[in-house]
Amino acid sequence: MLVLALVMVLLVWNVVDQARPSISEFGVGFLTGTEWNAVTDKFGALDLICGTLATSLIALLIAVPIAIAIALFLTELAPAVLRTPVGMLVELLAAIPSVVLGLWGIVVMGPFLNDHVEPWMISHLGFIPFLDGYPSPVGLLPACLILTIMIVPIVASISRELLSSVPSDLKAGAMALGATRWEMVRRVALPQVGAGLVAGTMLGFARAVGEAIAVTQVIGGSLVRPQNLYAPADTMAGRLAAQYSGAATALQKASLAYLAVILLVISLITNLIANLIVRRMRRRLGTP
Amino acid sequence: MAPLVQSWAGAYVKTPAAVTVTYGAIGSGGGIDQITARTVDFGASDAPMTPDQATACKSCLQIPWALGGVSIEYNVKGVPNNLKLTGPVLADIYLGNISSWNDPAIAKLNPGVSLPSTHITPIYRSDGSGTSFVLTDYLSAVSPDWSSKVGASTQPTFPTGTGAEHSSGVIAAMQATDGAITYSEVSYVAADHLNAALIANAAGTYESPTEKSILAAAAVGTTRSDGTIKLVNPPAAAADAYPLSSYTYVIVPETSPKASVLKPFLDYAVGSTGQAFGPPVYPALPSAVASSAKALIAKIHS
């Protein structure tokens, strides 16, 4: 335990140390700078921070309802024979290496989106800002969808465990009072585990924020801000993976380390909040 | 030029020296990083090291060891091989000023070719690459707009398009996208049967990267302050020169613990036996360059 903590401290110190030239050159302005240019040696992270938050939040928005629906199906609706195999299948999805998922994104999903989904979205939803443009096999949309696929199993398996921990006498009681199954889920089961669901969602968010490989494979590594949902963009983790090896200037290398510091801070905060919520909930439920 | 180094390595192990050379095509940027960290014995790059990289590498030599270039490939349904492009038009494509294949600027250069209205997707290297440097060094020379807005770098900030990692990545992305244009080291065109563009040189002649056109550019190279040689955008006097030619450099620390085995291998590579593996894709080094390379190799010591 002590060794782990020491490794953690050394790692953070090392990253901060590498980032130091950039921190002293750009300061807090790095967070709001939009230029990323190795020729003029000016670096700012705003577009990348936005790219990370946008892809992760859109992915969460799609993934959380699906994941909770899967969990409810498995705990409340599915016949007993289906529960184990379907539950295992969903968890297996989490076992797919992200590089393989990214490859599938390049070969199968990207071209499909480019040929069928995006042209339809452009002609039918193009009047909405940010949804007009040119189809592209790589870009924000494929990145969001790949992240969705990665988050669903995490959130689903946490939600399933939480929902199956709701005492059955509580559920039976609600049904005995005349609640329909849906009313029981909405009024009794979900409120019981609400905080846990939030924590599970945050763990999914932390996963999405830090994912580099699969996102790099499908997001299109754009160096400028995307003009629409289909256009190539980039995230902090993606930029770090693509440019760290072979950075042209010393300041660029330091700025990439600065991105790593920001990523560290975001995931530390997310995990801390998730942990606090879980701890509070455990105390309330009286489980150790 | 990874294929060339691999054929050197394959042949060199069978010579009396019998030394095994392992070479990974990880990109110029990665190569410079690894030689800087001394985790490898040599690195190779299509671009000269930036001042920061040279400082970090601590007295590293940049020795020209292969002659090649960058070709411009495209994938547009209905457009045949050998589309004609000029430097300024290429700059406008990568700047996003020209965004469809039937733009009058492209049509004017290609009378008789029916061009579709397909959207142009420029594809570029998202990792540090010598090919990006050769392309942007050329575009900076022929387009004031490019020079002021983007400039030359191994990792330039491309204002539009899609990024992909490594040569294999940009080629795959181009093949998957109708309307895509990209650039890579010359060997990929023949290996993957790609459509490549003819590029107009300063004399106004449209050239593809052949042994003859690359050698014509090498004949009029200019030496930079760091001793590397610039070949892009040769003067009009070289009427047959391919404007995106370049040397590839092997990067070696002057003090190398493996000097005694490394020097013979490098001598072999830049010598007549090694250079004979190159053509037609990689023309043999001009004799003046080969002898200056040998002089640099002689400086390496343990």
Structural domain total, chain A: 1
Query: pLDDT digit string (tens) for A139-183?
Result: 999 999 999 999 999 899 889 888 888 888 888 888 888 888 888
Mean pLDDT of B7-20: 80
Closest Cβ opposite residue A134 in set B29, B53, B119: B119
Query: pLDDT digit string (tens) for B159-189?
Result: 999 998 888 889 988 988 889 999 999 888 8
Contacts of A138 in chain B (CB under 8 A): 162, 164, 173
Residue B9 pLDDT exceeds 70? yes
Q: Are residues B76 and B63 in the same domain?
A: no
Mean pLDDT of A28-47: 90
Mean pLDDT of B34-62: 86
Q: What is the CA radius of gyration of chain A?
A: 22
Q: Are residues B7 and B105 in the same domain?
A: no
Q: Are residues B58 and B92 in the same domain?
A: no
- ipTM for the predicted complex comes to 0.80
Q: Are residues B43 and B94 in the same domain?
A: no
Is A250–B126 a contact, with Cβ atoms under 8 angstroms apart?
no
CATH number at residue B44: 3.40.190.10
Q: Are B141 and B124 in contact (CB under 8 A)?
A: no
Residue B302 lies in a domain: no
Is A38–B156 a contact, with Cβ atoms under 8 angstroms apart?
yes
| Among the listed residues A203, A238, A221, A239, the one whose alpha carbon sits nearest the alpha carbon of residue A98 | A238
Mean pLDDT of B242-255: 90
Residue A35 lies in a domain: no
Is A234–B163 a contact, with Cβ atoms under 8 angstroms apart?
yes
Residue A270 lies in a domain: no
Q: Are residues B73 and B217 in the same domain?
A: yes
Which phi and psi (to 5°) does residue B65 adopt? -135, -5
Which phi and psi (to 5°) does residue A29 adopt? -60, -20
Residue A64 lies in a domain: yes
| Burial bucket for residue A50 (CB in 10 Å: 0-12, 13-18, 19+) | middle
Query: In the A/B pair of chains, how many CB contacts fall below 8 A?
Result: 102
Residue A280 lies in a domain: no
Is B52–A224 a contact, with Cβ atoms under 8 angstroms apart?
no
Q: Are residues B60 and B79 in the same domain?
A: no
SS3 state of residue B158 = coil
Residue A287 pLDDT exceeds 60? no
| Among the listed residues A263, A264, A261, A242, the one whose alpha carbon sits nearest the alpha carbon of residue A38 | A242
Residue A288 pLDDT exceeds 70? no
Is B172–A242 a contact, with Cβ atoms under 8 angstroms apart?
no
Closest Cβ opposite residue A248 in set B154, B158, B177: B154
Q: How far apart are CA B59 and CA A227, in angstroms?
A: 44
Q: How far apart are CA B101 and CA B120, in angstroms?
A: 6
Is A242–B52 a contact, with Cβ atoms under 8 angstroms apart?
no
Q: Are B121 and B162 in contact (CB under 8 A)?
A: yes
Average pLDDT, chain B: 88
Is B27–A38 a contact, with Cβ atoms under 8 angstroms apart?
no
pTM of the model: 0.85
Q: Are residues B27 and B76 in the same domain?
A: no
Residue B234 lies in a domain: no
Range of the domain at B141: 69-221
Q: What is the pLDDT of residue B198?
A: 92
Contacts of A245 in chain B (CB under 8 A): 26-27, 29-30, 33, 127-128
Closest Cβ opposite residue B127 in set A40, A232, A245: A245
Residue B235 lies in a domain: no
Point out the domain boundary residue: B185, B205, B221: B221
Q: Are B65 and B250 in contact (CB under 8 A)?
A: yes
Is B164–A35 a contact, with Cβ atoms under 8 angstroms apart?
no
Query: How far apart are the CA of B284 and the nearest CA of chain A, in angstroms?
Result: 28
Closest Cβ opposite residue B157 in set A37, A246, A250: A37
Q: What is the pLDDT of residue B44?
A: 86
Range of the domain at A210: 46-256
Closest Cβ opposite residue A38 in set B155, B159, B172: B155
Structural domain total, chain B: 2
Q: Are residues B27 and B136 in the same domain?
A: no
Asked if B130 reaches chain A (Cβ–Cβ under 8 Å), the answer is no
Query: pLDDT digit string (tens) for A186-212?
Result: 888 888 888 888 888 988 998 898 888
Mean pLDDT of B237-263: 88
Residue A1 lies in a domain: no
Point out the domain boundary residue: B179, B205, B221: B221
Query: pLDDT digit string (tens) for A76-97?
Result: 888 888 888 888 888 888 888 8
| Burial bucket for residue A118 (CB in 10 Å: 0-12, 13-18, 19+) | buried
Is B154–A37 a contact, with Cβ atoms under 8 angstroms apart?
no
Residue A248 lies in a domain: yes
Q: Which of B28, B99, B127 to mutate to test the interface with A (most CBs of A within 10 A)?
A: B127
Q: What is the pLDDT of residue A285?
A: 62
Rounded percentage of chain B residues whose pLDDT exceeds 90: 33
Contacts of B151 in chain A (CB under 8 A): 39-40
CATH number at residue A179: 1.10.3720.10
Query: How far apart are the CA of A10 and the nearest CA of chain B, in angstroms?
Result: 20
Is A246–B176 a contact, with Cβ atoms under 8 angstroms apart?
no
Q: Which residues contact A273 (CB under 8 A, 6 or more apart)?
A: A202
Residue A286 lies in a domain: no
